[in-house]
A and B are shown apart, each in its own frame.
Chain A
Amino acid sequence: MIRVLSSGLYSSIQDFGRLGFQKFGVPYSGVMDRHSASFANAIVGNSKELPVLEITMQGPKLQFEYNTSICISGADISAKLNNNLIGNNRLIVVEKGDVLSFGKLIKGFRAYIAVFGGFKTEKVMGSYSMYHNITSKSRIEKHDILEIESQKTMSTNKNASIKTNEAFFNLKKVEVFKGPEFNQLSEDQKSMLLKTEFTISKDSNRMAYQLQEVLQNSLDPIITSLVLPGTVQLTPSGKLIVLMRDCQTTGGYPRVLQLKESSINSLSQKFTGNSIKFELVNE
């Protein structure tokens, strides 16, 4: 098991989310950046969708009560084991009593901690992903105990590490498909939508990213219909909202764009003040 000595800014257990419960209004949830989470799992020898700890901007402090191996991937938040920097994307052997902590945010916004065998926390509706009113906790807190497996035999590839693609963190380009209401936009609106460099506003979280720049909007609201993580909604005031993994299942704003899965991952590594540009992909 792991003791939570401090929780960090917003840390939660996430896997690949809940599928098949949307008819009850249950959000998909799951890791914001599947790319990085899969990576961390792969290095410790897990299958890619096992539950990991998603941490945001500022890391937690964790004490291990079992021997295990871990990997940190995604954002670089200066991970340290017993106060020594350990680096991302490599296999780290952890012994009973070791303390994992974090420091300064160097790049990206969300990091993933994978442990051998995955976290064994509460599973609800087929998923370990924490979400308010679905799991008993929506994030981890100080004094929590997180169950993990005790690893008896250590992996032989102790120095396993993978080179990551740095471009992933610096990418401005967000690849999109046309949303269901895209063709109701005027030619001017379409070109504004695809030419403007948008800035991520401070009202951004696991549910949605809001964008600062406003688009002239004359579209009427739609009769409430279905939305997905990655749906870009246009509000009556002209604000754009990019829905993320914890979004509601339905919405009444016109859906002008739909992010490619890989762009949801890279957008998850961006934060307030970063800029993005939408680019249509061929269908």
Chain B
Amino acid sequence: MEYQLTYKRFGERSILIEWPSKIDENILHDVLNFKDILVNSKIKSIIEVNNAYCSLLITYDYFEFYFEREVEILKNLYKKENNTTKSVSRLWNIPVCYDVNFGIDIEELSREKGLTIEALINLHTQSLYTIYFTGFLPGFLYLGGLNEVLHTPRKASPRLKIEKGAVAIGGNQTGIYPNESPGGWNIIGNSPIVFFDVSNEQPCFAKAGDKLKFYSISKKRYHDINTLVEAGVYQLESEVLHD
């Protein structure tokens, strides 16, 4: 499907392309498709292409930037839509320990929702989440697909310190804190998986367009996985998705 796109100049050498303002998987696929086309187009003056929910930011080499000319090129590329080198999507299975020692807000959340902790965990682990993009912190995944029952406002005053690996809910979103950071989301568990590894050439294993599922693990299993992760021998479960 072809969308009505808006092309805006964004500063001295960037262009922002906007899709209809919605969080929508069809839009995401079109955004990522265009992103792939641009990355594969080998236009020399493009030095960076990055996406969010329904937008694409293209940054050009400073000395070669002519807005009108670049927009013409982009419009033509979008019309052609002949992306043959579609990148493969994967489903990542992410272990989470929802024990109250990790999920420090899970008891309060279960009271507020009138749900047992078990029911709450079930709702969180049943959904198939879509990875829209990475932002906010290095390795922080923006996930779509949180069950509406679990939507919870952010805390009135953010915590100064949220543990690395914390799994949390903020508004209509859920996410994993890849490193210790301040934050205002409600913490329901912790994952022993490393979401951002600077020593890797690809510091994040997951990418926009991939899917993600959480599964519940015991404290014992958490510590076992943690040991394997720290030793660098843990094999994360994933499968290739076919359209």
The chain B residue with its CB closest to the CB of A135 is: B198
Tell me the bound Cα distance from A179 to B57 in angstroms: 13
A106 beta carbon closer than 8 Å to chain B: no
Shortest CB-to-CB span from B55 to chain A, Å, is 5
User: Is B78 in contact with chain A by the CB < 8 A criterion?
Assistant: no
Q: Are the C-beta atoms of B16 and A23 separated by less than 8 Å?
A: no
- The stretch of A39-47, A58-66, A112-120, A257-265 that contacts the partner chain: A257-265
| B55 in contact with A133 (CB, 8 Å) | no
- Provide the bound-state CA to CA distance between A250 and B62, in Å: 22
B131 vs chain A, min Cβ distance (A): 12
Residues of B within 8 A of A25 (CB): 134-140, 196, 204
State how many angstroms separate the Cβ of A257 from the closest Cβ of chain B: 9
**Residues of chain A within 8 A of B140, CB atoms compared:** 25
Contacts of B108 in A (CB 8 A): none
0/1 per residue, B1-26, Cβ < 8 Å to A? Answer: 00000001111101010100111000
Per the bound structure, the CA–CA distance linking A25 and B11 in Å amounts to: 20
Q: Decide if B215 is an interface residue (CB 8 Å cutoff).
A: no
Known contacts A20-B47, A226-B50; decide if A180 and B139 are in contact (CB<8 Å). Answer: no
Once the chains bind, are B136 and A180 in contact (CB under 8 Å)?
no
Known: A133-B179, A250-B135. A23 touches B47 (CB 8 A): no
Secondary structure of the A contact surface, majority rule: loop
Given contacts A180-B8, A259-B11, A283-B67, whether A225 and B198 have CB atoms under 8 Å apart is: no
Check if A230 is an interface residue, CB within 8 A of chain B.
yes
Q: How far is the CA of A26 from the CA of B67 in the complex (A)?
A: 26
Considering the complex, give the chain B residue whose CB is closest to the CB of A21.
B203
> Of B67, B136, B179, which is within 8 A of A250 by CB?
B136
Q: How many residues of B contact A (CB 8 A)?
A: 39
Chain A contact residue count (CB 8 A cutoff): 33
Bound together, the chains give a CA A266 to CA B141 distance in angstroms of 34
* Residue numbers in A under 8 Å from B169 (CB-CB): none
Cα–Cα, bound, A259→B14 (Å): 12
Q: Hey, which chain B residues are within 8 Å of A9, CB to CB? A: none
A residues apposed to B, CB below 8 Å: 19-27, 124-125, 133-134, 177-180, 222-226, 228, 230-231, 248-250, 258-261, 283
* 25 A-B pairs whose Cβ atoms sit less than 8 Å apart in the complex: A19-B48, A19-B59, A21-B203, A22-B50, A23-B51, A23-B134, A24-B203, A25-B135, A25-B139, A25-B204, A125-B203, A177-B10, A178-B9, A223-B52, A224-B52, A224-B135, A225-B16, A225-B53, A226-B16, A226-B51, A226-B55, A249-B135, A250-B142, A259-B11, A283-B9
Beyond the given A23-B51, A25-B140, A224-B142, please list 17 additional residue pairs across the A-B interface where CB-CB is below 8 A: A19-B59, A23-B134, A23-B208, A24-B138, A25-B204, A27-B138, A223-B23, A223-B54, A225-B53, A226-B50, A228-B11, A248-B137, A250-B52, A250-B133, A260-B11, A261-B12, A283-B67
